[in-house]
Structure 1
Amino acid sequence: MSPYRPVAGKSLKRKVETRRPRRTFVIFCEGERTEPEYFNALKREPEVRDAAAVDIRVEAGASGSVPLTLVRLAIEARSRSSDERGEVDEFWCVFDVEWPRNHPRLREAMELAAQNQIKVAVSNPCFELWLALHFADHRSFLSNTQARRLRRSHDGQSDKGLAGGKYMPNKKVAAQRAASLDRYHLGNGTSFPHNNPSSGMHQLLSAMLPASDEERD
């Protein structure tokens, strides 16, 4: 007889590590350098690359396009992916409102996106507001020029291009600040496109990053 006796009440089954399935994101953005460089830095983050198991493909070929054009490109890509039985989980468009002169047909772009299961991350007035939120909270109205100046005051970089390493350590803090801005505008009854400053980038970041243990519970 074997001298080994299992401890009562304790399972002998070996624990199998579970891994979150990879999720694929296709992101259409209007920036020529700044937005693509930010996302390229983000996709290199171990938390995104490994723990979140996210594969991001930035479609920078649409640089300079207005929001409606970006949404139409995303719809076409989603249709092709479905026809080819692709494994893209989410299609996103990242674009700006622009102040003092708004992008044309903004509402039409957002409505068309919603009708075709395209998600949007809109920054108001522009993406530079999202970048500035990595360093400090901000709640007063900004024009594009003011947002760019604010961003430069924090990172000391030119308008075009960025060093992603300066931003990645603060990405979750930036998301918290952006979410707080949403609540601030909601409390004030301020709606799009007058919700300046704001950025929907926190929603995209939340979709890509893995949930914490507290969120799973």
Structure 2
Amino acid sequence: MRSSGSLPCAGRRPSASRSPRRRPCPTPSCTQQRRARRRTRSTRSGASSTSRRPRLDEATALAQRSGVRLAISHPCFELWIVLHDRDWNRPGTSTAEMVIAAQKLAAFTGKHLDADALLVSRHGAAGRARALALRHAQDDTLPPDDNPSSTVVAFIEEYDPECPRGAQRT
């Protein structure tokens, strides 16, 4: 017989009977651990693409008020992937066009993306994204009219010690 200290959490079910909508564990120790994790998060951030986001301005304002920094690729996340390989400076780029361009890259195999292949060229992508941002700044173009653009570079600059701010394109 197990001691009470080794019992599994009362709120967890065996994996075979888990429902798709799993509720958080209600036991006091689990609740306290979740709250502690929330308090200790030093950086809150999120990533999004602008495709099918009609209320992006509202979401951006809410995130800013909540202290959440966003990384947004416009028209979609595939732009960030394409920037690993080449410049992309076509105003009014569609999501479908970006998906096709991304899937033609060597990093794609069918529907699978080789993250290691992209990791090697992340600094080049960061430089290309900065060049797009500079072009939009010179043209006084603001979101949502800044197509194409990607601020994913902010994540790279913050979390990659090898990518200093303002690193040159490669």
The TM-score normalised by the length of structure 1 is 0.55
Alignment match, 2:42: 89
Q: Hey, what does 2:138 align to over in structure 1?
A: 187
Shift of residue 91, structure 1, vs aligned partner: 1.2
- Structure-to-structure mapping, 1:10-29, within 5 angstroms: none
Tell me which amino acid in the other structure corresponds to 2:124. Answer: V
Provide structure 2 residue ranges, at least 5 long, that are not aligned to the other structure. Answer: 1-31
CA distance in 1, matches of 2:135, 2:115: 28
Q: Could you tell me how far apart the structure 2 residues matched to 1:158 and 1:114 are?
A: 37
Partner of 1:143: 94
CA contact (8 A) 2:107 2:114 kept: no
Conservation of the 8 A alpha-carbon contact between 1:148 and 1:159: no
The 5-angstrom pairing of residues 16-165 of structure 1 reads 83-84=35-36, 86-98=39-51, 102-141=52-91, 142-155=93-106, 157=108, 160-165=111-116
Could you give the per-residue CA deviations for residues 67-120 of structure 1, whole angstroms, max 9, x where no partner exists? xxxxxxxxxxxxx9995264222111111111xxx4121101000000010010
Q: What residue number does 1:15 align with?
A: none
Provide closer, same or farther for how the CA distance between residues 125 and 178 of structure 1 changes in structure 2, counting only shifts above 3 A. Answer: same
Could you say if the C-alpha distance between residues 126 and 214 of structure 1 is closer, same or farther in structure 2, counting changes exceeding 3 Å?
closer
Tell me the SS of whatever aligns to 1:120: strand
Aligned pair partner of 1:199 in 131, 150, 170: 150
Q: Per the alignment, in what secondary structure is the counterpart of residue 161 of structure 2?
A: coil
Residue 159 (structure 1) shift: 6.9
Q: Provide, for residues 45-76 of structure 1, a one-character-per-residue CA deviation record: whole Å limited to 9, x for no partner.
A: xxxxxxxxxxxxxxxxxxxxxxxxxxxxxxxx
Q: Tell me the C-alpha RMSD between the 2 structures.
A: 2.6
Indicate how the Cα distance of structure 1 residues 209 and 108 shifts in structure 2: closer, same or farther if over 3 A, else same: same
Q: Give the Cα–Cα distance (whole angstroms) in 1 for the partners of residues 165 and 49 of structure 2.
A: 33
Q: Please give the alpha-carbon distance, in whole angstroms, between the structure 2 residues aligned to 1:214 and 1:111.
A: 25
How many residue pairs get aligned? The number is 133
Give the percent of matched residue pairs that are identical in Structure 1 and Structure 2.
Answer: 26
Match of 1:171 in 2: 122
* CA distance 1:83–1:112, shift in 2 (3 Å): same
User: Aligned partners of 2:65 and 2:115: how far apart in 1?
Assistant: 33
Compute the TM-score of the two structures, normalised by the length of structure 2: 0.70
